[in-house]
Amino acid sequence: MHPPDGLGSWPARRARIDASRTALVRPDGTGVGYGELAARVDRLAGALAAAGVGPGDRVAQLGVNAVEVLETFFAVWRLGAVAVPLNHRLAGPEIAYMLDDVGASFLVSSPDAAALAAEFTGPRLEVGPQYEEAVAGGEGAAHPVGLDDAALVLYTSGTTGRPKGAVLTHGNLTWNTVNQLAHVDVASTDRVLCIAPLFHCVGIGQITLPTLFKGGSVEPVAKVDPGAILARIGAAGITGFSAVPTMLQMMCDHPGFAAADLSSLRVVQYGGSPVPERVARAWLDRGVTLQQGYGMTEASPGVLMATREGSPAHPVAVGVPHFFTDVAMVRDGEVAPLHAGPAELLVRGPHVFAGYHGRPADTADAMLDGWFRTGDVLTVAEDGWATVVDRVKDVIISGGENVYPAEVEAVLLGVDGVVGAAVVGVPDERWGETGVGFVQAAPGAVLDVDALRAHLAAHLARYKVPKRLVVVDELPRNATGKIRRTELRARAEEMP
């Protein structure tokens, strides 16, 4: 039997079966067939190889969701290289750090990310005439790739103030795909929207690769416009998509929601935070099935998901484990079975990442006897359905984006006159959570909130900047000097 190989071969394998079937859809509605996709990927791989890209090289990517992003992924994988999609919403210094940290040797970018692309001084290819010329002139290239070879490095915000690159192998992504197919009824006739950004594990692993694996059609969405998406569902006969609760809320609150043609929609997957009951009810009343899931970048990303049949009876649960996923809990520092009450969830399986790029100590800290520590507290009912209780880590999930307080606090502490900073999350009806920052001034120092906000905006993505900043004389701390975040969170929630 021929052994499984890397994801770069997927378009070619599909092309041997049904080359005329639409694989990807461009913004103008025209389709790219599997045969055409295979040929374009092969020629792009040849062009990248001619530019010096080889096995193990890290190829960064910057830009909004597009057909070219997926072509780049497949071409990079075909060469045995590693794709590193970066968040185009970040600030220049953040991008520069990641490019240096991962050791990127090549960059593929689109015009919308031109300013950020300037942070990279090495060779790069820009989507547009230059990109099409490279695709047209490439002669094809390939390198043997195995399941244990790295395929992606996806950056997650770090609790120590610096993002970490999670290394996902071809095997990780393949097994996550198999898990998705075992949990969700994906068909070769499906036509889905890729709304989640392709620099996120959800955009790649939860909807795109499973659909392409089955020979369905994927339409990348460059800009999240609720009205446009609602219109596209009916016009294109969209059967499914994945989104964060904020997006689902924006869509159901849109004036065009009631009249939108949703008859083709079979299922909508969501995760990141619970969806408000009124939002869930709005979609259910339109006959759309919602399946909540739970996962993380380090798990490629799926760990748990609600089943189609069980969702109505478990409206706030994140579901049951995927087929090839083992779960357990931490109890008194040891691995314990499920049903032991609220405890930190552990996960292991062939879809769990290979580690953090260049950070063996961080990788070791994230593991417990071969299990990955999720940092999240869950309970599991007797019927096996899990519910998220709290987060061990202080991550703030705002509009589906992870914001780690330590990263924001590190920037605040770089301001003259700031001797202490703490950022906590508070509930927000629109975004799920928003940040409130408490800043301690040095004795005699006068801090300008507007200046602090401008400093944050210059160094961080906009969604990471706290909604409110409060200057305080002193931050509450315990006997060991640690900030009492619970006290600050309660104070923030009482603010008008």
CA-nearest of 319, 384, 327, 385 to 351 is: 327
Q: Give the strand pairing for 22-25 and 31-33.
A: antiparallel
CB 391 within 8 A of CB 376: yes
| Confidence at residue 403, expressed as pLDDT on a 0 to 100 scale | 84
Q: How many domains does the chain fold into?
A: 2
Q: Residue 388 has what pLDDT?
A: 84
CB 374 within 8 Å of CB 345:
yes
Q: For 119, how many CA atoms within 13 A lie in the half-sphere containing its CB? A: 22
Q: State whether 297 and 344 are in the same domain.
A: yes
Indicate if 274 and 406 belong to the same structural domain. Answer: no
If asked whether residues 362 and 407 sit together in one domain, one would say: no
pLDDT for the residue 166: 98
Do residues 114 and 22 share a domain? yes
**Distance of alpha carbon 188 from alpha carbon 212, whole angstroms:** 8
Do 15 and 159 contact (CB within 8 A), yes or no? no
Q: What is the pLDDT of residue 146?
A: 95
Domain of 292? 7-380
**DSSP β-bridge partners for residue 380:** 386
294: helix, strand or coil: strand
Contact 122, 106 (CB under 8 A): yes
Distance set, CA 76 to CA 21, 298, 422 (Å): 23, 21, 41
Q: Which two tokens stand for residue 218?
A: 């994927």
Shared domain for 273 and 170, answered yes or no, is yes
Helices 34-50 and 67-78, axial angle in degrees (round to 10): 60
Residue 386 lies in a domain: no
**Which CATH number is 405's domain given?**
3.30.300.30
Give me the pLDDT at residue 9, please: 81
> 409 in helix, strand or coil?
helix
Co-location of 90 and 225 in the same domain: yes
Tens digit of each residue's pLDDT (9 = 90 or more) over 192-223: 999 999 999 999 999 999 999 999 999 999 99
DSSP string, 178-217: HHHHHHS---TT-EEEE-S-TTSHIIIIIIIHHHHHTT-E
pLDDT for the residue 159: 43
Whether residue 477 sits in one domain with residue 366: no
DSSP label at residue 276: P
- Whether 388 maps to a domain, the answer reads no
Same domain? 199 vs 347? yes
Q: What is the CATH number of the domain that holds 226?
A: 3.40.50.12780
Walk along the chain (496 residues) in steps of 10 and give the mean pLDDT of each run: 64 74 96 96 96 97 98 97 95 94 98 95 97 92 94 78 90 97 94 95 94 96 95 97 87 94 94 77 90 94 93 84 96 84 92 98 96 91 85 78 83 88 90 93 91 95 94 79 82 89
